[in-house]
Structure 1
Amino acid sequence: MTDAEVPRQPNTFALWREVDDTRIRTRLGGFFYLLAWLLTWGFSASPGSLLASGLLGSILFAALLTARLLHRPHGLDSPVQLQRWLDHHWGLILLTALCWGQAHAWVLYRSEYDDSELIATLATVAFSTAMTFNFAMRRGRALLALALLYLPGLAVMALNWQSMHAMLITLTCYLGYLILVLGRNHREYRATLELELKLLEQQSQLDLLSRTDSLTQLGNRYQFNNLFPSLVANALRQGEPLSLVLLDIDFFKKVNDEHGHAGGDACLSAFAERMRQVFRRDGDALLRLGGEEFGVLLPGTTLAQAREMAERFRQELESEGLQLADQRLKLTTSLGVGSFDKRQDSDADAFFKRVDSALYRAKREGRNRLVAADH
């Protein structure tokens, strides 16, 4: 998965990270369960006389291996889907642990496997250790897996106390160690995840800052340059309307001369706030393109609809002006409005130039007016 595909929401990212870690760490696990069973069966006293149980165990662990390999996390993009995949995959992990725990107990119980019971016991230790170090992200589930792997064999050893008490005590002590290590690994995993989430948050904040005009909190030219071509491509592909409004504050230099740069900044901020009041739909993208020039991208909006909103903005600004601190500033704006037309606009640049030309006509013809781009 590329950086662009990594989820940005904290909850989704945490689940995505766990899914990715689980997928990587469980990839070959099923193979070793099958291998351990084949070795246990193959090095028993008489593999031929144990054909039924040997084949049954081989088929079972081969099926679990296949199920793991086929259960891939493709196309998961929501917390619900990610959690569902984790639940299903953990079901396979726990089922495998249950089957191996029963197989280990069976080997310890049946005298026919005396020659290979050490193989099964060492495999149980190995699987439990791997569980502790690789799947500590879910401590409760990992503890359950350890119990499923370990306890059946310990129960058989307890029934044969006289001959197996040394092994029982040793494995019980090792199980206690694994439980302690599991707790430590779980805390380390959570700490690492928290660090990743903080880095992700910082990256998101930096990305937001790089795309936001610090004065008006509108999108900046960088965001426009990234968003505009994609919206044009989508409009061309979907056949839906896309309109663009370009706005330029009339005689803004006069505002700076009379009120200073602080007054000019206040004017720009108030102008942006007035834009939010008119162009307030969720899909509208409001941007400061530079200086006193602003833009509004209106997906799914026809030219007539865009003209209506833009003209309402112009009229309200002309009649009400802007409130700056304790005084009202009379202000007007010139606007160019256009809608994407694939017959005229070969690409996003051509569309922008057509609307930009309409804005400059509005300024040449006396300002405080709206001009629609030629069709």
Structure 2
Amino acid sequence: MTDAEVPRQPTTFALWREVDDTRIRTRVGGLFYLVAWLLTWIFSASPAGVVVSGVLGSCLFAGLLIARLLHRPNAIDDPQQLKHWLDRHWGLILLTAFCWGQAHALALYSDAYDGSELIATLATVAFSTAMTFNFAMRYRRALLALILLYLPGLAVMASNWDERHAVLITLLFYLGYLVLVLGRNHREYRATLELELKLLDQQRQLDLLSRTDSLTQLGNRYQFNNLFPSLVANAIRQGEPLSLVLLDIDFFKQVNDEHGHASGDACLTAFAERMRRVFRRDADALLRLGGEEFGVLLPGTTLAQAWDLAEHFRRELEEEGLELPGQRLVLTTSLGVGCFNSRHDSDADAFFRRVDSALYRAKREGRNRLVSAEPVRA
């Protein structure tokens, strides 16, 4: 899986990480339960005498193995589906632990399994150790699995205290050790996950900074270069309109020369804020393309609708100017507007050039005007 496919929302990422870790760590675990049961059966005192329980146990653990392998997550960006997968997969893990606990108890209780009690007990120790180190992401569920693995066998040993008290006490001490280690591993897993979440947040912030103009907080040219082709491709695929408005502040150099660069920066910031008031839909992408040139990408917007918004912006700026700290600045803008048309635009670059040419016609024809890259149609 590439970094681009990893969920970025913290809650979803935490669930995805747990799902991914659980899926990887449980992939072959079911196989060892099956092998352990086969060894317990084959090396029993009378394999032929317990053929029914042997075959049933083999089928049971084989079925649980297949169920684990076939149970794969379908989505990585849906928290509900990820949680549902975890709940169901933990159900398989706990069911396997329960079944092995019963198998261990059977091997200890039945005389037919004399000779393989040690195999079953060692397997129980191995499975509980693996549970402690591999599935500490969910402390309570892993603790329940340990109990399901151990309790049936311990109960049988307790019923035959005189002969098995030494092994029983030893296993109880080891179980206590595993519980302590499980708690430590759980804390370490959560700490690692928290670190990953912090790194993810830092990556998100760095990505945002790389795509945001630091002065106006609009998208920058880098974001435009990434977003524009994808929106054009989506417009072609969905058959929906995509409009582009390009804006250039008229005589901006004079603002810097007459009022200073600090006022020039304040002008750019106020201009961007005015853009937010006019182009305010969530889908609209507002960008500073460089210097005093700005752009607005308008998905799902016809040329006529984009024209009305752009002309409203131009007239409002002409009439009201910009309010800067301690002064009102008279300002105008030249604009070019166009809507993607597959008959005229072979790709995103061709579309941009067409609208950019309209902007420069507006500047050549006297500025403070809006020029369309094609005839306006309702």
2:222 corresponds to: 222
Q: Does 1:7 align with 2:10?
A: no
Query: 1 CA distance for matches of 2:374 and 2:360?
Result: 13
Deviation at 1:373, TM superposition (A): 0.1
1:70 corresponds to: 70
Query: 1 CA distance for matches of 2:75 and 2:133?
Result: 28
Deviation at 1:114, TM superposition (A): 1.5
Deviation at 1:77, TM superposition (A): 1.8
Give deviations 1:345-368, integer Å, cap 9, x for gaps: 000000000000000000000000
Letter in 2 for 1:374: E
* Secondary structure in 2 matching 1:115: coil
Query: 2 CA distance for matches of 1:33 and 1:247?
Result: 68
Deviation at 1:143, TM superposition (A): 0.2
Query: 1 CA distance for matches of 2:171 and 2:185?
Result: 20
Deviation at 1:76, TM superposition (A): 3.3
Map 1:24-39 onto structure 2 (within 5 A): 24-39=24-39
1:89 corresponds to: 89
Query: 1 CA distance for matches of 2:294 and 2:32?
Result: 63
Q: Does 1:326 align with 2:326?
A: yes
Query: 1 CA distance for matches of 2:258 and 2:144?
Result: 74
Query: 2 CA distance for matches of 1:61 and 1:374?
Result: 70
* Secondary structure in 2 matching 1:149: helix
1:108 corresponds to: 108
1:285 corresponds to: 285
* Secondary structure in 1 matching 2:260: helix
Letter in 1 for 2:87: D
* Secondary structure in 1 matching 2:298: strand
* Secondary structure in 1 matching 2:114: helix
Query: 1 CA distance for matches of 2:105 and 2:259?
Result: 87
Query: 1 CA distance for matches of 2:33 and 2:6?
Result: 32
Give deviations 1:122-146, integer Å, cap 9, x for gaps: 0000000000000000000000000
1:151 corresponds to: 151
2:273 corresponds to: 273
Q: Does 1:309 align with 2:309?
A: yes
8 Å CA contact 2:75, 2:82 repeated in 1: no
Map 1:149-228 onto structure 2 (within 5 A): 149-228=149-228
Deviation at 1:18, TM superposition (A): 0.3
Deviation at 1:374, TM superposition (A): 2.7
Deviation at 1:74, TM superposition (A): 3.0
* Secondary structure in 1 matching 2:248: strand
Query: 2 CA distance for matches of 1:91 and 1:203?
Result: 35
Query: 1 CA distance for matches of 2:297 and 2:91?
Result: 48
* Secondary structure in 1 matching 2:8: coil
Query: 2 CA distance for matches of 1:31 and 1:119?
Result: 16
Deviation at 1:327, TM superposition (A): 1.1
1:298 corresponds to: 298
Query: 2 CA distance for matches of 1:259 and 1:147?
Result: 77
Deviation at 1:55, TM superposition (A): 0.4
Normalising by the residue count of structure 2, what TM-score does the alignment of the two structures yield? 0.99
Query: 2 CA distance for matches of 1:202 and 1:354?
Result: 38
Give the count of matched residue pairs.
Answer: 375
Query: Structure 2 stretches of 5 or more lacking a match?
Result: none
Query: 2 CA distance for matches of 1:320 and 1:360?
Result: 24
Which is further off, 260-269 or 74-83? 74-83
Letter in 1 for 2:220: N
Q: What stretches of structure 1 move > 4 A for 4+ residues in a row? A: none
Query: 2 CA distance for matches of 1:49 and 1:70?
Result: 33
Query: Structure 1 stretches of 5 or more lacking a match?
Result: none
Deviation at 1:96, TM superposition (A): 0.3
Give deviations 1:201-235, integer Å, cap 9, x for gaps: 11100000000000000000000000000000111
8 Å CA contact 2:231, 2:242 repeated in 1: yes
* Secondary structure in 2 matching 1:296: strand
Which is further off, 319-328 or 172-181? 319-328
* Secondary structure in 2 matching 1:335: strand
Percent sequence identity over aligned pairs: 82
1:354 corresponds to: 354
Query: 2 CA distance for matches of 1:133 and 1:189?
Result: 10
* Secondary structure in 2 matching 1:281: coil
Letter in 2 for 1:74: N
* Secondary structure in 1 matching 2:213: coil
Query: 1 CA distance for matches of 2:131 and 2:216?
Result: 53
Query: 2 CA distance for matches of 1:320 and 1:140?
Result: 64
Query: 1 CA distance for matches of 2:259 and 2:76?
Result: 55
Deviation at 1:117, TM superposition (A): 0.6
8 Å CA contact 2:7, 2:76 repeated in 1: no
Letter in 1 for 2:6: V
Letter in 2 for 1:249: I
Query: 1 CA distance for matches of 2:326 and 2:285?
Result: 30
* Secondary structure in 2 matching 1:216: coil
Deviation at 1:326, TM superposition (A): 1.6
Give deviations 1:306-327, integer Å, cap 9, x for gaps: 0000000000000011000021
8 Å CA contact 2:286, 2:296 repeated in 1: yes
Query: 2 CA distance for matches of 1:203 and 1:77?
Result: 18
